C-alpha cells in the first residue's frame, strides 16, 4: 500500500448511492493504478445504504492495493464546493482528480491526464473532453427548455486553454480535471480559499476562472475520457433560476452575486475557508 499515491481522486456525493456505485465502478476500472479514493458525503440521509456501499468498495479497491477513504459531513452544505475542499485537505497525492458522483470515467482517463501533466512538468492543470448521455425522456425535455430546443448529446468539442474566454463562458467540467495539489494551495494562499463555498451554482466555472486569474495555467487533453450523464435530477437542470447568471460575463455575475448573497439566503459561512 503506497502511503503517498500519485493521484488523490476526490468525489463529493449526496444521497445518490446508485449513481455513486456506477462512478466507483469506473474508477476501479482505471488502467492507471497509483491513486487513492476520497469520498466526502455531504450528509446523505440514506446513511446505512451509503455505509454498505463504502464497505463493499473498500474491499474491492483493497484487492488492487488502492485505499479508499470515506468522510461524512454532519450538516449538508448544499453544493459540491465544501465537500471538495474537505477532500483536498485529506489528500496525500501529488495531483487531485475529481469525479462527480453521477458521471463516469473511461478506463484510460487517469493514464491520459497524468501522462499529459507530466509531459513537461510546467503545467498546473489538465482537462479532457466529455461524452454527453441523456438518460431519460424527462431529462431530454428539461434540456430542450434549458438550451432553447437543442439537446447536448454525444462527444463535446475540445477548447484550448483560454483565460480570456473563461470570463465569458465555461468550457471545462469538473470531472475532466486533474491538477497539481501544489498549484491549488498556491491559489488558496493568494486568494484565501480554493473552491468557493458561498456558491450554489457554477462552482466549476468559478474554480477554473480563478485558477487563471491567479496565474495558474492549464492545457487541453484532446480526448474524450468522461461520460457525462444528463438525468432529471441533474443539478444544472433543477437549481432555481435565481441561481443562474443574469449575463454570460461571469466576472460581472460574481460581483452581482457577492452583493446579493445575503438576500438570496446563501451568506458565506464565517468559517468556510
Mean of per-residue pLDDT scores for the chain: 86
Interval 156-195: pLDDT, tens:
999 999 999 998 889 999 999 999 999 999 999 999 999 9
Using the predicted structure, report yes or no on whether residue 249 has a pLDDT greater than 90: no
Nearest to 73 by CA among 193, 197, 254: 197
Percent of the chain with pLDDT over 70: 85
CB 236 within 8 A of CB 134: no
Instruction: Give 99's Cβ-side CA count (13 Å radius).
Output: 29
CA separation, residue 86 to residues 71, 177, 268 (Å) = 9, 17, 16
Backbone angles phi, psi at 133, to 5 degrees: -125, 125
Answer for the pair 237, 228: CB distance below 8 angstroms, yes or no: no
- The arithmetic mean of pLDDT across residues 61-89, rounded, is 92
**pLDDT of 214 over the 60 cut:** yes
Please state the rounded mean pLDDT for residues 33-50: 93
Q: What do you get for the CA distance between the two ends of the chain, in Å?
A: 31
- Lookup result for grid cell 483536498: 88
Between these two residues, 47 and 237, which has the higher pLDDT value?
Answer: 47
Q: What is the rounded distance in angstroms from the CA atom of residue 88 to the CA atom of residue 147? A: 33
* 127-148 average pLDDT score: 86
pLDDT the model gives residue 260: 54
Q: What percent of the chain has pLDDT over 90?
A: 63
For residue 202, what pLDDT band results from cuts at 50, 70 and 90? confident
pLDDT band at residue 79 under the 50/70/90 scheme: confident
* DSSP 3-state of 9: strand
What's residue 140's pLDDT?
Answer: 83
Contact 231, 111 (CB under 8 A): no
The phi and psi torsions of 169 (rounded to 5 degrees) equal -160, 160
Give dist(CA 252, CA 246) in Å, integer: 9
CA 242 – CA 70 distance, rounded (Å)? 33
pLDDT of 69 above 50:
yes
* Top-confidence range, 15-19, 127-131, 153-157, 245-249: 127-131
Higher per-residue pLDDT: 43 or 95: 95
Strand boundaries in the chain, DSSP class E: 7-13, 35-41, 68-72, 95-98, 104-105, 125-134, 154-155, 177-180, 219-230
Amino acid at each position: 500500500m503506497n502511503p503517498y499515491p500519485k493521484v488523490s481522486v476526490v468525489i463529493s456525493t449526496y444521497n445518490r448511492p446508485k449513481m455513486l456505485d456506477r462512478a466507483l465502478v469506473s474508477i476501479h476500472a482505471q488502467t492507471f493504478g497509483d491513486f487513492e479514493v476520497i469520498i466526502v458525503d455531504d450528509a446523505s440521509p440514506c446513511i446505512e445504504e451509503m455505509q454498505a456501499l463504502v464497505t463493499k468498495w473498500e474491499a474491492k479497491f483493497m484487492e488492487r492495493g488502492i485505499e479508499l477513504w470515506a468522510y461524512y459531513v454532519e450538516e449538508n452544505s448544499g453544493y459540491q464546493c465544501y465537500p471538495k475542499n474537505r477532500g483536498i485537505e485529506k489528500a496525500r497525492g501529488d495531483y487531485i482528480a475529481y469525479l462527480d458522483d453521477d458521471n463516469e470515467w473511461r478506463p484510460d482517463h487517469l493514464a491520459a491526464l497524468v501522462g499529459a501533466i507530466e509531459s513537461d512538468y510546467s503545467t498546473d492543470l489538465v482537462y479532457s473532453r466529455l461524452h454527453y448521455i441523456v438518460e431519460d425522456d424527462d431529462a431530454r425535455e428539461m434540456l430542450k427548455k434549458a438550451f432553447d430546443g437543442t439537446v447536448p448529446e454525444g462527444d463535446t468539442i475540445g477548447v484550448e486553454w483560454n483565460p480570456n474566454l473563461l470570463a465569458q463562458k465555461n468550457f471545462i467540467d469538473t470531472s475532466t480535471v486533474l491538477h497539481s495539489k501544489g498549484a491549488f494551495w498556491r491559489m488558496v494562499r493568494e486568494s484565501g480559499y480554493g473552491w468557493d463555498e458561498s456558491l450554489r451554482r457554477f462552482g466549476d466555472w468559478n474554480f477554473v476562472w480563478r485558477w487563471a486569474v491567479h496565474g495558474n495555467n492549464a492545457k487541453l487533453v484532446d480526448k474524450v475520457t468522461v461520460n457525462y450523464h444528463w438525468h432529471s435530477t441533474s443539478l444544472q437542470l433543477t437549481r432555481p433560476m435565481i441561481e443562474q447568471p443574469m449575463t454570460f460575463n461571469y466576472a460581472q455575475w460574481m460581483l452581482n452575486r457577492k452583493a446579493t448573497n445575503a438576500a438570496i439566503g446563501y451568506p458565506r459561512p464565517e468559517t468556510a475557508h
